[in-house]
Amino acid sequence: MKANNIHRGSIVSIIVACLLSISTLALADPTLEQMSTDAKQWVMPGGNYSVTRFSKLNQITSANAKNLQVAWTMSTGTLRGHEGQPVVIGNMMYFESAYPNYVFAVDLDDVGRMVWKFEPPKNPDAPPVACCDVVNRGVAYADGKVIASILDGHIYALDAKTGKVIWSAVNADPLKGQTVTAAPLVVKDKVIIGVSGGEFGVLGYLSAFDLNTGKLVWRAYSAGPDEGMLFDPQKTINGNLQKPVGKDSSVSTWQGDEWKLGGGTTWGWYSYDPKLDLLYYGTGNPGSWNPTQRPGDNRWSMSIIARNPDTGVAAWAFQMTPHDGWDYDGVNENIIVDLNVKGKTVPCIVHFDRNGYCWVLDRRNGKLVAVHKYDPTVNWAKSIDPETGKPEVDPSKMTKAGVNVKNICPAAEGDKDEQPASYDPITRLFYVPTNHICMDYQAFDVKYKAGFPFVGAILNMYAASPDVRGRFIAFDAITGDTRWAINDRFQDWSGVLTTAGGVAFYGTLDGWFRAVDLKSGKILYQFKCPSGIIGNPITYMHKGKQYVAVLTGVGGWAAIGLAAGLTKGSEGLGAVGLTASLGDYTNLGGTLMVFAVR
């Protein structure tokens, strides 16, 4: 009997242990990757780690999109540019305004009720060194925390239920010209965030903070010595040449210490491949904008870099615009997709660069798969080498000190800036908000002083075609074919959302929010919002109904004249003259707009 009792007790213990184990597993937070498969939510800035900005929701279709209407709205309380998007976790929505960077938590079960509002301390040193408006590109979420980046460089982890600060960290110093405008990305237990300030001589870097403590885990610079860049000379691959980068792959391409004065800020979007365990991002312009002051290829500015998210060590790097003379920042999103290339499935990233070319790279090693113009006016390069990606620059379009170079296409704002594209896996096309603009560019010598502009160029931007400054296009990244295009009066500075209902959503700089048929490009619905749109649409499901949400609030570099009250055409780094008439069509004001089919 005693033996029997022991046996039964052991069985009971095992059963209890198993039940506790199952209970613990049930209560444990699912990973972000798992959460992103639930189309009812929008759990990351790009919707998923691949930043496809595609949703499987299909309640809104090309047949009923004409019946969309405004479901509810909410003011953000700020008037400058809103370049971000909300995230939706369960019945809660979280989003961040432009400076002073208010963070809101809204209960979707009780629309209009702010569960909490976080107001970070104001830092008056930050707005003056924000080159292109005091924008923010959104919050991140993970493990019960809302992660918010603030213009002055602070990163906050907020309790998602209460808004209380769990930890804060410092990622930038405005007195050195550094700011933070990007949306964080959480990968495992790391908060990934970059830095802005390319127009102030800031050396770019990407930082990883511990999700639970806020401690800096690693920081990787965009230029300079190998140890600072976290490059392994023998293992990090030069994607252009498909061989190890070798020792001093960056410093050897700069004259003296010029790399210290602005090499590749990292203010764009970040993506992640869990299978390869690689993080992808782009780097911005070298400093100054006068290429005569910095001979060489200026690596690794204007590049795409893949890194291990745990250590920061670079797997590979690929440079798109060596010795940049046009401010063609490479920070735009890297969309993770598997594409059919000559009958074989290739794991790719697709990047629509400021320089007017769509780059398709093998995401395992940075090897060039395809490259095509996505705007027909591109003329700074005659061609791109299909093996190495090296551009053959048109000598008549290469800028230099003391010369006003005319009719360069695209302009410095690029054929697409940070406004993110979307990939639709059903049509297998990319839906891209683009600029259609050219410029005159006069470079001059400039001296560096910490916290002061380090530009060295005067620009004049203008429409590439009469009264057309933007094009919304459906694009095949492998063939380079544009299937259809919508021409717009101003730059299309809003991001794009595509859905399984066969509908794309985007906004215009003058305030039209549109639903578009993915196959034909037909505008199915449009609504004139209170202010121009430079935010990125998202979609979610609540109580059985699909909603589409977008932040409106004109600003950013595209509308810096209107946002900052500038009137001289060459102000705003040449952007003011390009949109001089924008004030005839829209005004300032931050508003969250939410739509649904009636």
**Beta strand spans in 267-367 (E):** 271-273, 278-282, 303-307, 314-319, 335-341, 344-352, 357-362
- Whether the CB-CB separation of 553 and 79 falls below 8 Å is answered with yes
- Whether the CB-CB separation of 182 and 139 falls below 8 Å is answered with no
User: Angle CA(434)–CA(437)–CA(440) in degrees, nearest 5?
Assistant: 150
- Whether the CB-CB separation of 318 and 295 falls below 8 Å is answered with no
Closest among 206, 332, 334 to 263, alpha carbons compared = 206
Q: Which amino acid is at 158?
A: L
Cα(360)–Cα(380) distance, rounded to whole angstroms?
20
Closest among 433, 280, 424 to 348, alpha carbons compared = 280
Question: Would you call 37 helix, strand, or coil by DSSP?
Answer: coil
Question: Would you call 477 helix, strand, or coil by DSSP?
Answer: coil
- Whether the CB-CB separation of 441 and 399 falls below 8 Å is answered with yes
DSSP string, 358-426: EEEEETTT--EEEEEESSTT--SEEEE-TTT--EEE-GGG---BT-EEEEESS-TT-SS-S---EEETT
Alpha-carbon torsion (242, 246, 249, 253), positive or negative: negative
- Residue 71: count other Cβ atoms within 10 Å of its Cβ: 17
Cα(211)–Cα(209) distance, rounded to whole angstroms?
6
Active site residue 327: yes
Can you name the residues that pair with 281 across neighbouring β-strands?
Answer: 305
Cα(416)–Cα(419) distance, rounded to whole angstroms?
7
From the list 226, 273, 324, 327, the catalytic residue is: 327
> What is the total residue count of the chain?
598
DSSP string, 88-152: EETTEEEEE-STTT-EEEEETTSTT-EEEEE-PPP-TTSGGG-TT-S-----EEETTEEEEE-TT
DSSP for residue 535: S
Q: Which amino acid is at 373?
A: K
- Whether the CB-CB separation of 554 and 533 falls below 8 Å is answered with yes
What is the 3-class SS of 152-191, one letter each residue?
Answer: CCEEEEEECCCCCEEEEEECCCHHHCCECCCCCEEECCEE
Cα(148)–Cα(157) distance, rounded to whole angstroms?
7
Can you name the residues that pair with 442 across neighbouring β-strands?
Answer: 404, 458
What number of CA atoms fall less than 13 Å from residue 356's CA on the CB side? 23
Please identify every residue annotated as catalytic. Answer: 327
